[in-house]
Structure 1
Amino acid sequence: MATPSKQYKAIGEDLWKSRTEKVNAELFALTYGALVVQLIQDYEDYGEVNKQLEKMGYNIGTRLIEDFLARSSVGRCSDFREVGEVVAKVGFKSFLNITPTVTHPPPTSRPTSVQRQTSVPNSSFTLTLDENPLAEFVELPEEALEGGLWFSNVLCGVLRGALEMVQMQVQVEFLSDVLRGDETTELRVTLLKYLEEEVPMGDE
């Protein structure tokens, strides 16, 4: 019997192969690069550009999740650790054709009943991108490095938006980026809390 991790990898690969409306990778990278350049010209503030990229990503993520759920048939995850496996092996693979390495913090202590409900212990995972389709052909100028630009910050927004749609409020941030001279490109996803299912007005 296949482990869940292998099953998720197979699902992600099948979804990518069956996706008919693929965008040329070079065109995708160049279009995204042009968008970032335009934002830099418009705002002249790298911190604000980071915010705008995250905001755009959030809006994309809230829409992508519907397509993802409809096509993947992945059920509800049992814990946040499993969420990391699905995000890396199914989500990234099916949309970007990459599979980041997902790592989880080691257990710290035995969780209390309250912690178990909110998944506070080990409620984060790190994604290491061996390749980043957004960053192809990119070399950041010194000014952008000093200004603190996270070139691929749209990914943080996509993850935040998508997970919020499935009742998880998360914080997503870049820890490192090869474009900034780091050895790896890493994102950390931290669960803040599970959101309550909203009851429509009059249905209480």
Structure 2
Amino acid sequence: MATSSKQYLTRGEELWKGRSEKVNAELFALTYGALVVQLIQDYEDYSEVNKQLEKMGYNIGTRLIEDFLAKSNLGRCADFREVGEVVAKVGFKSFLNIAPSITHGTTRPTSTGSVPPQANSVGSSFSLIFDENPLAEFVELPEDAIEGGLWFSNVLCGVIRGALEMVQMQVQTEFVSDVLRGDETTELRVKLIKHLEEEMPVGDD
């Protein structure tokens, strides 16, 4: 891989330091918390709140990617493993000043024993592990929210999905654990579904 993990982190730090429109972290966390509370009051259904947060994040991600590509000056990623490194070390660092650790998954064969053709042979999923989460800084979830399945930071799933879709990658994003829900770690999993430019024309099947 041409660029090392450390080089990506350095690039993310440079972008964060050069960002003139930084948002106060405390204000950001409180504002986001108020938004989640409002959604809970509006929908009275935690699964619907999760959907709305993801949808909001998706819209944010489709807009952020343009700014990110213009300022980061990074070339096209060689594979999905590198995509994960860029998301964790450059993306999160440049916008939120955090760098989640990353673990890479590999493609599992289907029930027929074959590997899906659209999956990248180097690995088609990665997980981001958050040691710190600015969105959840002052948050304690009530028991009914935990039992109802609320993923408090679900906006991040949408941001990643929206941003990657703009660079021709359809992904599935979901939180699989959250310290707010009593888990040991906060983990967000990103799975590559397909490269959008590889879609076959209609009628060619």
Please give the TM-score of this superposition, normalised by the length of structure 1.
0.90
- Identify the residue that residue 156 of structure 2 maps to in structure 1: 155
Matches of 1:54 and 1:48, distance apart in 2? 10
The amino acid that maps onto 1:15 is: L
Percent of aligned pairs with the same amino acid? 80
Matches of 2:53 and 2:158, distance apart in 1? 7
Residues 132-182 of structure 1: CA distance to partner in whole angstroms, max 9, x if unpaired?
000011000011011000000000000000000000000000010000000
SS of alignment partner, residue 104 of structure 1: strand
Matches of 1:3 and 1:59, distance apart in 2? 29
- Identify the residue that residue 201 of structure 1 maps to in structure 2: none
Instruction: Quote the offset at 1:118 in angstroms.
Output: 3.8
Matched, 1:181 2:182: yes
Native 8 Å contact 2:107 2:119 kept in 1: no
Instruction: Quote the offset at 1:106 in angstroms.
Output: 5.3
Matches of 1:47 and 1:106, distance apart in 2? 29
C-alpha change, 1:138 and 1:197, in structure 2 (3 Å) is same
Native 8 Å contact 1:108 1:121 kept in 2: no
Native 8 Å contact 1:169 1:193 kept in 2: yes
SS of alignment partner, residue 105 of structure 2: coil
Native 8 Å contact 1:108 1:122 kept in 2: no
- Identify the residue that residue 29 of structure 1 maps to in structure 2: 29
Structure 1, unmatched stretches of 5+, are 199-204
What is the 5 A alignment of 1:35-184? Answer: 35-105=35-105, 118-119=119-120, 122-184=123-185
Matches of 1:24 and 1:35, distance apart in 2? 16
C-alpha change, 1:117 and 1:174, in structure 2 (3 Å) is closer
Q: Structure 1 runs of 4+ off > 4 angstroms?
A: 106-109, 114-117
Instruction: Quote the offset at 1:196 in angstroms.
Output: 1.7
Matches of 1:125 and 1:86, distance apart in 2? 12
The amino acid that maps onto 2:13 is: E
Native 8 Å contact 1:171 1:191 kept in 2: yes
Instruction: Quote the offset at 1:89 in angstroms.
Output: 0.2
Matches of 2:59 and 2:3, distance apart in 1? 33
Instruction: Quote the offset at 1:185 in angstroms.
Output: 0.3
Aligned residues: CA RMSD: 2.1
Matched, 1:7 2:7: yes
Aligned pairs, number: 194
Structure 2, unmatched stretches of 5+, are 110-114, 200-205
SS of alignment partner, residue 175 of structure 1: strand
Instruction: Quote the offset at 1:76 in angstroms.
Output: 0.4
Instruction: Quote the offset at 1:3 in angstroms.
Output: 4.8
Matches of 1:5 and 1:22, distance apart in 2? 24
